[in-house]
Structure 1
Amino acid sequence: MKLFVSMLRILIFFTFLFPAKSFATFVDSLRLSDALQNNMVVQQNKPFKVWGKAESGRKVVIHADWLSGSTEVYADTTGDFMAIIPVPKALKGDFTPHRMDVIAGGEKVALTNLLIGDVWLCSGQSNMQFAVKEMKDAEQVIYKADQPHIRLLNVALNFSETPLTNFRGEWQNCSPESVREFSAVGYSFGKKLLDSLQFPIGLVFTGIGASGVQAYIPKEDLANDTMLNRVYLQPYLADPKSKEPIDGGFSFEKVIRPYLLYNAMVHPLINLSVKGFIWYQGEANHLERASYVRATQTMITSWRSDFSQGELPFYYVQIAPFFHDEENPTLAFDAYFREAQEKVADLNNTYMVSTMDVGEAKDLHPKNKRPVGERLAAVALNRVYHKLDVSYQGPVMDDVSFHGKRAYVSFEPETLGNGLQTNDGQPPKFFYVAGSDRIFYPAEALIDGERIVVESDKVTEIASVRYAFFNYPVTNLENKAGFPALPFRTDRWEETLNENR
């Protein structure tokens, strides 16, 4: 209920309602997919699908100005056609506008002001949807957002019982006007990529506040997994709401229903060539553990399979600190959830970034979104674009040794960068220790070279160290590249009712 109330506070900007529009010039039977529009970014260095509708049996000719010849295909018996054309590699500093003509009989669709670059799909719930106009220093960001080499597409909210091929939303040049309603995390991510790579970036936002991960997974994939079928699918199918007609209107209940958002807001995009995915979601599932890990990994593999472009990179955000209207450091249900989120990255070509230092303990939707997007971009720059000099990792606990009332915590060497520090010059905060009685007490911590020394007069024989392991710590421990240390616990004690009450 507390989470529900927090989400309700920003419902006013949750739902994008776009008027229906025609995004390409067409007459009669020839029309292109809603994903193919003027102003879009065409994914570089990959085969590019051009698909749509034409008169059954009609020859469709596609010519792009970056190709010397044309490609011809025929519409099938249902009028569907799909052509695949090559796209060259994007060149640094090349922002040449391009044109594509699609011709069938006497009809022609002309797509103009196209750019060749990389397209990233941004998805999740409210902290990914959180608009530029709401972020910290919003007016300054908006003032500087005349960025015509970034292109933005907001997919309008919709739900469907069956997979759709159409959606509403318009590719736009990034400008102070168009960026206001776009994802702050997504824009911050794309802006950092553009600044570093110096070629066009396309950003597609498809998501909605308060949504559960199960809403983004195909029905058949939920059904084929015993755990997901039991936890998500069957309870919904047994609910009378599953028999009601589905419309496109928002409700908190509807955005957690399984598979409806996938059908309406992901499936229409699966033929689009993309570079990868960024994801910020979890608050709606924060009381789950193993089922959330399984669901998120299933979603990733489902999307990769549907987009048919290999193991596309998937970078995601750990949920931020939040007190759930109770300032009680013994409550740790979100800490256990963050721990579960880490396990999603056991899947190949995934990575999680932390927000522990840029959260706001009393705001479920912290406004400092720029570091979040830029951290996701740093991961991409290092791991996708092979800029190995770009740091992207925060300190990750590696080992602990216990010596009476002291413990010595070390970190994975590759995550230390040039060493440990705090962002405020104060000792590291939010270390707790416990003895064999499993009662935790606040501990003093200090940086000793590449390790942390922790001690407490309350515990004579330390058995466990926990760092930032409760619902709402806003942390100060980081490496010298400015990336926060991940929360951790050195024990594997069972989660207790007291931590979840």
Structure 2
Amino acid sequence: MRPVLFWQFVLGIVFMAHAQELRLPACFTDNMVLQRDAPVSLWGWSAPGQEVKVEMDGSSQQGKTGKDGIWKVRLPAFPAGGPHTVKISAGTSVVELDNVLMGDVWLCGGQSNMEWPLKQTPYREEDTVWLQGQQVRLLKVIPEMDYRPGEDIHASGWMVPEPDKIAEFSAVGYHFGKFIQQESGVPIGLVSVNLGATAVETWMSNEALEAFPQFREELKHTGSFADVKKAFEKNKKSWYGKYYYTGPGISGKWYLPETDITSWDTLEVAGNTWEEEETLKDFDGAVWFRRSFDLPEGFEGDSLPLQLLQIDDYDITWVNGHRIGETFGRHNHRNYTIPAGILKKKGNILTVRVFDTGGTGGFTTPAFWGNDILRGRWHYRKGLHIDAGKFPEQELVNVTPFSSPGVLYNANVAPLTALKIKGVIWYQGESNAARAAEYRELFPALIRDWRDHFGKDIPFLWVQLANYGQEPEMPGPSAWAELREAQDMALNLPNTAMAVTIDIGEAGDIHPRNKLDVGKRLGALAMNLCYGGTYSAQFPQFKDMERKGDSLLVRFTAATPVLKTKDKYGYIRGFQLAGEDGEFRWARAFLRKNTVVVYAPGLRNPVAVRYAWSDNPGPLDLTGENGLPAAPFRSDDRKLSTDGLLFDSKVPRF
């Protein structure tokens, strides 16, 4: 054998041996929590036909890999407790997982309000004794996307609850986990699988989405995301230099901090397509945007996150003259990382070249979704101009956005479905508010979908959207109120519960910082639903009404029969009444025993009542004896403002 060929042969053998070594999915690591009181399923990969042995606390089970190299082994049920060691052997490969607890595993799903980390809230954990007990463990899934179900998640392993680790974890998830662990005494595993600004359909399986005609076109992809991305990168080279990365801004290096911008105009970029600006109306091609920013007070990290969110269509982004990112596709989220080494305390220069291939262009995500960097006025200047009708965009393969149906389920949830879990907590809906009527079908479909894959009896708890935005001067349509109603209607499914948060939102921030009460409300509901608790966790909910004269008598169901109002005179804000003309007007209300009397001066024959029916109904008075707010409701069934509005792949999605 010739020497070169011999060493190629040897290296090939070494590579194959390495590829066939025992491997575990990312959800099985040191410090993990496995579901108690249920058979324990473990799986992984090794050489085809190889014997695999799994041992834990004297229990031993064997399995064998199939032709695909996948092995699965099931251990008997174990009670809550630990720590344990799990030993897995395959041939000469041995993996030991230490500090393993048996307990309850909860998935924490949704969008940004579930993703929101503890460090960005006012809460600081001072119970160091509880932390040292390590009875809550954390697994944070790093979001990926794919057209087809993946075989593994992307994660860095289970973490014990140290201060720096919990700071990066879901605040709602953490407070929920701590509450139920302290109340139940059972070890808790929390799996954070969420991503900001994502719609419910992104978290549904392809099979579930097939039931909805509006998604079928987007489900036609036959390959994996890796295949599509590879084709995209290949096609991009053919037009990049000729049609795209050229023009006066490139040749003039407008991305350098020393660029003279005295002649540049200014505009508000967030949520405003540039066609709304007279000087950019009907302009297609490149527009350069620039602004300065300072580092946050006390910044000490090795990198700074930069969230520009969605841009129509493509962008290249520089900071202080250094290129930090490039993204193609109007639905994709621009989440970049700026190395600390190129930053200074004051006056950093952020430059973004936005390239539009036709139609609307610019930063399409509304300002309230983003951080401070998006808000305010930016300098801008036109760069390369193109004829959109002749631009060869058809040569591109558009990379899948995080907002495409199914892609987040496939990459981040599907690989976990063999994992036995206790239940799910969910905080999502903001991104579907514009299609709230559609959510009436999508949200229950998601719950049934996850139950089909994780177990048909798993508890599913969620957070109803909080109050947000300006208080309306007059009653009118509210997409957020309609979304809340859709969430409320999902309670018709068994083994579900909803935490009402209409009292703890923030008018000016879609991400209210009070995640402590959200977690505790979910926790109290979970204790009643799953742990035999008797917590006063129920909110007053509309039961029925009766007309008496010019008033409506409104009755509620609640955990206790006592209703309260915070107003010292007994009055209640937030009610609306409509007469036979269907026009709603503000109403007055007060408590009479445990019935709310609602009337409107001048309205003789009220026929319908609404309560807290707006994006932000303002301060509310009506609570149960437990202090929990009455849930928003309406007694009428008039057509919703979002009726008929369905998913459309051509419309920007937030």
Give your verdict on TM over 0.5: yes
**Is residue 421 of structure 1 aligned with residue 564 of structure 2?**
yes
Partner amino acid for 1:478?
A: T
Count of aligned positions? 456
Distance 1:383 1:497 in 2: 33
1:281 corresponds to which of 428, 445, 454: 428
Using the TM superposition, name which of 156-165 and 287-296 deviates more.
287-296
Show the counterpart of 1:266: 413
Cα gap change, 1:62 to 1:235, in 2 (>3 Å): closer
Distance 1:69 1:377 in 2: 33
Per-residue deviation, 1:460: 2.2
Tell me the SS of whatever aligns to 2:545: strand
Distance 1:411 1:497 in 2: 27
Per-residue deviation, 1:57: 1.3
Per-residue deviation, 1:236: 6.9
Show the counterpart of 2:387: none
Q: Within 5 Å, which residues of 2 pair with 1:209-220?
A: 209-220=196-207
Distance 1:201 1:419 in 2: 34
Using the TM superposition, name which of 258-267 and 327-336 deviates more.
327-336
**Is residue 255 of structure 1 aligned with residue 411 of structure 2?**
no
1:245 corresponds to which of 213, 219, 229: 229
Q: Deviations over 1:57-82 (max 9, x none)?
A: 111111012xx331111111121100
List gaps (5 residues or longer) in structure 1: 1-25
Cα gap change, 1:153 to 1:34, in 2 (>3 Å): same
Cα gap change, 1:326 to 1:405, in 2 (>3 Å): closer
Tell me the SS of whatever aligns to 1:245: helix
Per-residue deviation, 1:325: 9.4
Show the counterpart of 1:76: 66
Distance 1:306 1:494 in 2: 35
Indicate conservation of the 8 Å contact 1:44/1:89, yes or no. Answer: yes
**Is residue 146 of structure 1 aligned with residue 290 of structure 2?**
no
Tell me the SS of whatever aligns to 1:172: coil
Partner amino acid for 2:174?
A: Y
Distance 2:626 2:561 in 1: 7
Indicate conservation of the 8 Å contact 1:318/1:354, yes or no. Answer: yes
Q: Within 5 Å, which residues of 2 pair with 1:446-485?
A: 446-474=590-618, 475-485=620-630
Show the counterpart of 1:155: 141
Distance 1:483 1:141 in 2: 26
Tell me the SS of whatever aligns to 1:399: strand
Name the TM-score, length of structure 2 as normaliser.
Answer: 0.66
Cα gap change, 1:470 to 1:180, in 2 (>3 Å): same
Using the TM superposition, name which of 356-365 and 200-209 deviates more.
356-365
Cα gap change, 1:451 to 1:416, in 2 (>3 Å): farther
Identity %: 34
Show the counterpart of 1:490: 635
Show the counterpart of 1:59: 51
Tell me the SS of whatever aligns to 1:297: helix
Distance 2:84 2:585 in 1: 63
Cα gap change, 1:449 to 1:284, in 2 (>3 Å): same
Cα gap change, 1:402 to 1:418, in 2 (>3 Å): closer
Indicate conservation of the 8 Å contact 1:185/1:369, yes or no. Answer: yes
Cα gap change, 1:48 to 1:318, in 2 (>3 Å): same
Per-residue deviation, 1:108: 0.5
Tell me the SS of whatever aligns to 1:271: coil
Q: Deviations over 1:367-396 (max 9, x none)?
A: 111111111111111011111x21221011
Show the counterpart of 1:315: 461
**Is residue 365 of structure 1 aligned with residue 504 of structure 2?**
no
Show the counterpart of 2:289: none
1:122 corresponds to which of 86, 98, 108: 108
**Is residue 441 of structure 1 aligned with residue 585 of structure 2?**
yes
**Is residue 42 of structure 1 aligned with residue 42 of structure 2?**
no
RMSD value over aligned CA atoms? 2.6
List gaps (5 residues or longer) in structure 2: 1-17, 233-326, 335-364, 366-399, 646-654
Indicate conservation of the 8 Å contact 1:142/1:180, yes or no. Answer: no
Distance 2:38 2:456 in 1: 12
Show the counterpart of 1:5: none
Tell me the SS of whatever aligns to 1:288: helix
Per-residue deviation, 1:265: 0.6
Show the counterpart of 1:231: 214
Cα gap change, 1:348 to 1:284, in 2 (>3 Å): same
Q: Deviations over 1:97-141 (max 9, x none)?
A: 110100112211000011111000010001111111122x32356
Partner amino acid for 1:485?
A: A
Partner amino acid for 2:77?
A: V
Distance 2:471 2:563 in 1: 32
Using the TM superposition, name which of 320-329 and 81-90 deviates more.
320-329
Distance 1:133 1:261 in 2: 25
Show the counterpart of 2:278: none
Cα gap change, 1:306 to 1:111, in 2 (>3 Å): same
Distance 1:457 1:129 in 2: 45
Using the TM superposition, name which of 243-252 and 33-42 deviates more.
243-252
Indicate conservation of the 8 Å contact 2:206/2:219, yes or no. Answer: no
**Is residue 183 of structure 1 aligned with residue 189 of structure 2?**
no
Indicate conservation of the 8 Å contact 1:150/1:201, yes or no. Answer: yes
Cα gap change, 1:326 to 1:159, in 2 (>3 Å): farther
Using the TM superposition, name which of 344-353 and 32-41 deviates more.
344-353
Distance 1:144 1:129 in 2: 26
Distance 1:141 1:466 in 2: 42
Q: Deviations over 1:170-206 (max 9, x none)?
A: 2100121111111111111101101101121000010
Distance 1:336 1:288 in 2: 9
Indicate conservation of the 8 Å contact 2:464/2:484, yes or no. Answer: yes
Indicate conservation of the 8 Å contact 1:75/1:81, yes or no. Answer: yes
Show the counterpart of 1:132: 118
Tell me the SS of whatever aligns to 1:191: helix
Tell me the SS of whatever aligns to 1:485: coil
Partner amino acid for 2:434?
A: L
**Is residue 29 of structure 1 aligned with residue 21 of structure 2?**
yes
Cα gap change, 1:141 to 1:262, in 2 (>3 Å): farther
Per-residue deviation, 1:27: 9.7
Q: Deviations over 1:411-456 (max 9, x none)?
A: 12xx141511135656321111121122222222112221111122
Indicate conservation of the 8 Å contact 2:471/2:615, yes or no. Answer: no
